[in-house]
Amino acid sequence: MKKVLVTGGSGYIGSHTIVDLIENGYTVISADNNSRSTPGMLEGVEKITGTKVKNYKVDLCNFDETRAIFEENNDIAGVIHFAAYKAVGESVEKPLLYFHNNMNSLINVMRCIDEFSVPNFVFSSSCTVYGNPDKIPVTEETPRKNAESPYGLTKQMGEQMIEAFAAAKKDTNSILLRYFNPAGAHPSALIGELPIDRPQNLAPVITQTAIGKIPMLTVFGNDYPTRDGSCIRDLIHVCDLAHAHTLALNFLIEKKNKTNCEVFNLGSGDGITVLESIRAFEESTGIKLNYTIGPRRAGDVVAIYANNDKAQKELGWKPRFGLGEIMTTAWKWEQYIEKLPQHLDLSPHLLN
């Protein structure tokens, strides 16, 4: 069985991807210092798959610690790099923290891929690289525009570094996966999104409002030039996103890539507004949400959603979960952590 190193394996998308990789016959090891995640998430992965995943609790900003993983595992067929800070608002307040953490960890992982000649590399990128697009839906050819936040800038710089690395090192094949808005949870409700302190992203804010952790959801603006005045986004189920990583790795291992640095949009292809997302949650769960309209949030993109034809055609990827299942699985997970936080070995900073 081919071995894959998943960095950020205890994170939201990382843990769901590990489940999918194992279910598709891969052997997985993880590297996660749990600075923004809980070891309990890999317990959930074990409950779902029956497989205990070894986690290297290392700081990927430390080259020697990172290199030791590759020294010990000289049979790594691919690396999937999730480990990064990703809170847009925090990145505006603390840009140097984001440049240090997101760029140094990526550089160290790439240095090891180079030294140990790891043949395949999948990078967790984001639709934020498109900034405020002139035309939607966006395709992979849509030009990158000025990032709206330091977080988005780290994703843009990461993509450019990998493109330059690919041009220099022909025997490493890379894929950049541009996520739209990940949401929902594994149907088992044993793993899901665990925001640190108050969530920023819409989906966990919705479920925390529904369960009463947040008294009132604020819609950040309803005066945008869209069909109902609120922003448009492309929600994609985390399990669909996870499966795309397995398909991307298969694609590289089977040498189906035309170049050694390919880009794919991973979105549902449907744009929905913030108000429509709230209505979808209410209709799927029967729970009325307490919300109010507030001022716009700085840095918000007005409207973006994906043209996902390339991933469908070349990776054979097809999103399976619809909007209703995104909401119901997110809600089931919120209720689970409400009941059993001790199971997830949640340290206080992970409980809001």
Q: Shortest Cβ distance from residue 88 to ligand WQD (Å)?
A: 5
With respect to ligand WQD, which residue has the nearer C-beta, 78 or 182?
182
Q: Which of 151, 179, 291, 305 is catalytic?
A: 151
Neighbour count for residue 161 (Cβ, 10 Å): 15
DSSP string, 78-103: EEEE--S---HHHHHH-HHHHIIIII
**26 is annotated as an active-site residue:** no
Tell me if 120 sits within 8 A of 77, measured CB to CB. Answer: yes
Residue 258: exposed, middle, or buried by beta-carbon count in 10 A (0-12, 13-18, 19+)?
A: exposed
Q: Least distance (Å) from ligand WQD to the CB of residue 2? A: 26
For ligand WQD, give the closer residue by CB, 78 or 195: 195
For 272-317, give the secondary structure using H, E and C: EEHHHHHHHHHHHHCCCCCEEEECCCCCCCCECCECCHHHHHHHCC
Minimum CB distance to ligand WQD, residue 170 (Å):
30
Q: Distance between CA 186 and CA 227 in Å, rounded? A: 31
Task: Compute the least distance from the CB of residue 283 to ligand WQD, in Å.
Answer: 18
Cis before 295? omega within 30? no
Q: Considering beta carbons, is residue 113 or 217 the nearer one to ligand WQD? A: 217
What is the C-alpha radius of gyration for the chain, rounded to an integer number of angstroms? 19
Question: How far is residue 269 from each of residues 101, 239, 332, 334, measured CA to CA in Å?
Answer: 31, 16, 25, 26
Q: How far is the CB of 182 from ligand WQD (least distance, A)?
A: 6
For ligand WQD, which is the closer residue by CB, 118 or 122?
122
Q: Using CA atoms, how far apart are residues 193 and 199, in angstroms rounded to an integer? A: 10
How far is CA 126 from each of CA 144, 238, 274, rounded to the nearest angstrom? 11, 14, 19
CB-closest chain residue to ligand WQD: 231
Closest listed residue to residue 217, CA positions, set 284, 270, 162, 291: 291
What is the C-alpha to C-alpha distance for residues 82 and 311, in angstroms, rounded to an integer?
A: 19
Considering beta carbons, is residue 200 or 352 the nearer one to ligand WQD? Answer: 200
Of 36 and 233, nearer to ligand WQD (C-beta) is 233
CA distance 141 to 196: 34
State the residues that interact with ligand WQD by CB under 6 A.
86, 88, 126, 128, 179, 181-182, 200-202, 205, 217-220, 231, 233, 274, 297, 300
How many CA atoms within 13 Å lie on the side-chain side of 163? 10
Number of C-alpha atoms within 13 angstroms, CB side, residue 6? 29
Shortest Å distance, C-beta 289 to ligand WQD: 11
Task: Give the nearest distance from C-beta 100 to ligand WQD in angstroms.
Answer: 18
Instruction: Return the number of the residue (76 or 194) whose C-beta is nearest ligand WQD.
Output: 194
Residue positions annotated with a catalytic role = 151
